[in-house]
Structure 1
């Protein structure tokens, strides 16, 4: 192809800010490609919210992907999402299921995203799972719609293996969830390390992995 409609700088946490923003670095190269007409839009995609906010504030990017950090039990990207939306960026929220822990209840794993979940997070998963069960709502439906219902979020990214996953996603998106259940979910205490605040996350050290959940 001669033109790419959209290109994301992916996981810049695997380099340094100085290297990413240098005159001969990836951001400069992508901006030059957009100016030349090879790229239509530029996006920033990664993990740590504070880092992503720095890239958003450069003014170079048209869209943001955040993953695993705005779910039923993890809210550290909340401020970032609001900030990016207020600046007019498209906001894509990926991995609303936390890499699987929020797809069913009783849960079958204690892993969230790329590591083991804390005991407070597991307690929140179980409490929300029980609330959904009592209301006759699949936990996965609440996890998906938590992202879909937020007006700041342009699109939600989920992983699909086959057509049945696609059809199941449409079914989950159509499940009716009452205001009472949403209020009960929002009242569940969360691990404070996973609630949006300036020092919510420490150094980001995980190896490179894709946004496939």
Structure 2
């Protein structure tokens, strides 16, 4: 079911983060369950299963991930309702801002990935080697490897992300090596730019970064 938020259509149970103000690094994860012209009903925001204690009249800052940006706005707690679950009712915002996220948010992580040089012959099978990603964005990633790659080389990057709980998405992305930093004679840090990434996969990576950033209270802009 589609809901409306500040003039934008969102899906029911859309994941959001809630903090006490825009500068607060501690972000609590919630979801939008209902909207009308006057209010937005969200689940109680949680961080590591600890609820954010909110009083009526208190102002909070909300971030809602969209396809290529996030909607951000301040709102006021107006009431609580309890049906099947306890919901916090917020005022519909008078205004909100769009914050471009895609390709700019880099999330630090340790993720097992596989890298292969792009074969010159389409009939040739790529030879994948194991590597470890150190950070990820919707525009590319950085990884550690024992293989020495050359700048401006085309590679294939394969990895898996748990974008939604208990649901893993697989990615195979043609990429371009943009930088190579020797760490030791047999260890290299390599940065690649994603090429030909579908809109659906871009959105999945963006959603993954948003979710993990919220869980760790960490945005690197």
Same fold (TM over 0.5): no
Q: Quick check: which one's helix share is greater? A: 1
TM range (shorter): 0.3 to 0.5
TM (norm. structure 1) is 0.32
TM-score, reference length from structure 2:
0.31
Q: Which has the bigger relative contact order, CA under 8 A and spacing at least 6?
A: 1
Greater share of residues in strand: 2
Greater C-alpha radius of gyration: 2
